[in-house]
Amino acid sequence: MKKYLWSKEALFFIPVLVFSFFLMFKTFQITPDGNLKLALKLWSDFAATIPLIRSFSLGDNFPPQYPIFAGPPIRYHFLFYLVVGFLEKIGVRLDWALNIPSAISFFALILIIYFLATKVFKNKAVGVLSIVLFLFNGSFSFLEFLKTHPISPNLINEIINTSEFASFGPYDGRVVSAFWSLNIFTNQRHLSLAYAAFLLLVFFLYRLIEVNKKFSTKGVVLLSLLIGLFPFFHLAVFGMMIVALGVFFLIYPKTRYQIFLIGLFSLALAIPQILYMGKSQIDVKFFDPGFLIQNLNFVNFVNYWVLNLGLTVVLAPIGFFLASRKVRKVFYPFFALFVVGNLFRFSPEVAANHKFFNLFLIGANFFTAYALIYIWKRKIFGKVLTAASLFFLTLSGIIDFFPIINDRYIEIPDVGSNRASQFILANTPKDSVFLNSSYLYDPASLAGRKIFMGWPYFSWSAGYDTDKRGKTMEKIYTSQDKLEICTLLRENDLDYFTVQDTSGDPDYPDIDIEFFQREFTSFYKNGDFVIFQTSQNCEGS
């Protein structure tokens, strides 16, 4: 790999590295005043990310729980954020602690895309094109953009200044998905490294089988460790690794014994992690064909994927049939992900299956790039056709890049300028659990303490029963019976509870602040925000 890094490729990869850091630091910063400065498009997702990091850096979260759904073992992949939390704990400022690993992970993903494509196709141009196709998605979302921005002399300026994604399905009601832009990597910071690990697995398996023609004991051990230690890092990608392993088992009969051993050892390491996380508290319909396709039938299926994959639908199959039989085998694990993602649901939120399709698309891009290189060599017509195809394969991605660049910011007062968080940090045990009177960026969460329930969507999508917990929360906050409140606080192991004016929040029960201040002794008060200690107010706590 060293010879690549010190050759002409460096002229390409140095700007990519700079871009990786730019992307992460552009979307999340710490202000000179110490506040959290968040791009608006990641503000909501980071309402789960920041509490998770802080539970490790400022709190005590061992054994790990989901800090915005205190009590049960964590069901969310946490290892990446554990590392970030450790970095903040030893003194690295939060934006550096998060952005540097995020940028390195994103850069590593791009590197492995290049090396996998280059090694398999033995063509550096395929590697470069695969990166371009990864960075600038080939969906037909540009058609949605043109509906509101008709072709005119000012079109380029309108693209450069746009601040909204052309299509953000299913959340905006459009067909083209929200999950093809780089937004998923700025919002889900652990995702890049997880995808890179999957590609690394495919790379190693391909090299060991097709190039080395054998597995060493060292190779079996290393691949078993890579897969087996992954559930805590990213459970969904762990599942995809098992799928890939199964595909290689089927298509390479001569190495089935070694692949079986890798699978066996991997599961031996993974099962204890999976058992710790436990099963979903919500019943999930496992066989649920169609992903996000409305009124599933053949026509709607084809329409959905043509609009979402663009010319890749045509060019990837062309590249596949042009490739040698040996090279084609690389596509099978990626295609298996496409099939699995379209047939099954693994969490309450079916949109979470986008990860299957992100990785499928990376694999499909290899063959799209190979087809483009082949067509380019077909004299003048081939060059014109390649240029036109590349234009339409990247136009949506180019348009989708500018909403990230032009995004507005929101500032959240962090511990240094949040008096309630400062008090909680200084005066409560690190493993305390709070009944919270706000969902997002609660003062207790910022101080690293676990809360009863953050914004329900996050916990629900991870498989927690938010309906039951929401009813308990409402019962506590709307009750006028101190004994009932204390009973519920004790039953749910809540060390502290907060009250504040929630009259303007339609998602929260109305809290009778006067009742709580009359019946309970406050532990801390700042304006209408009050903290009560359960043990101080409820006998037997």
Question: Residue with structure tokens 């490294």?
Answer: 193
506 band by pLDDT with thresholds 50, 70 and 90 = confident
* pLDDT attached to residue 315: 98
Lowest mean pLDDT among 85-94, 185-194, 378-387, 427-436: 378-387
Q: What is the mean pLDDT of the chain?
A: 95
Q: What is the pTM of this model?
A: 0.95
Mean pLDDT over 403-413 rounds to 97
- Domain ranges in the chain with CATH number 3.40.50: 53-75+413-537
Amino acid sitting at position 141:
S
DSSP state for residue 210 in the 8-state scheme? I
DSSP strand pairing (529-533 vs 522-526): antiparallel
* pLDDT attached to residue 6: 52
Q: How far apart are CA 179 and CA 494, in angstroms?
A: 37
Residue percentage of the chain with pLDDT more than 90: 91
Q: How far apart are CA 440 and CA 451, in angstroms?
A: 11
Q: Write out pLDDT tens, residues 29-47.
A: 999 999 999 999 999 999 9
Which CATH architecture best describes the domain 53-75+413-537? 3-Layer(aba) Sandwich (3.40)
CB 400 within 8 A of CB 182: yes
Helices (H), 252-378: 256-277, 298-309, 312-322, 325-328, 331-343, 354-376
* pLDDT attached to residue 2: 52
444 pLDDT higher than 70: yes
* pLDDT attached to residue 7: 66
- Residue 310 to residues 49, 68, 290: CA-CA distances in angstroms? 32, 39, 18
* pLDDT attached to residue 379: 84
207 band by pLDDT with thresholds 50, 70 and 90 = confident
Mean pLDDT over 254-263 rounds to 93
219 pLDDT higher than 90: no
* pLDDT attached to residue 539: 80
Mean pLDDT over 527-536 rounds to 96
Q: Write out pLDDT tens, residues 297-324.
A: 999 999 999 999 999 999 999 999 999 9
Render 310-334 in DSSP notation, one character per residue: TTHHHHHHHHHHHS-HHHHTTHHHH
Mean pLDDT over 481-509 rounds to 94
Instruction: Give the 3-state secondary structure percentages of the chain, helix then strand then coil, rounded to 5.
Output: 60, 5, 30
Mean pLDDT over 221-247 rounds to 96
Q: Write out pLDDT tens, residues 139-191.
A: 999 999 999 999 999 999 999 999 999 999 999 999 999 999 999 999 999 99
197 pLDDT higher than 70: yes
Mean pLDDT over 211-239 rounds to 90
* pLDDT attached to residue 505: 85
Residue percentage of the chain with pLDDT more than 70: 98
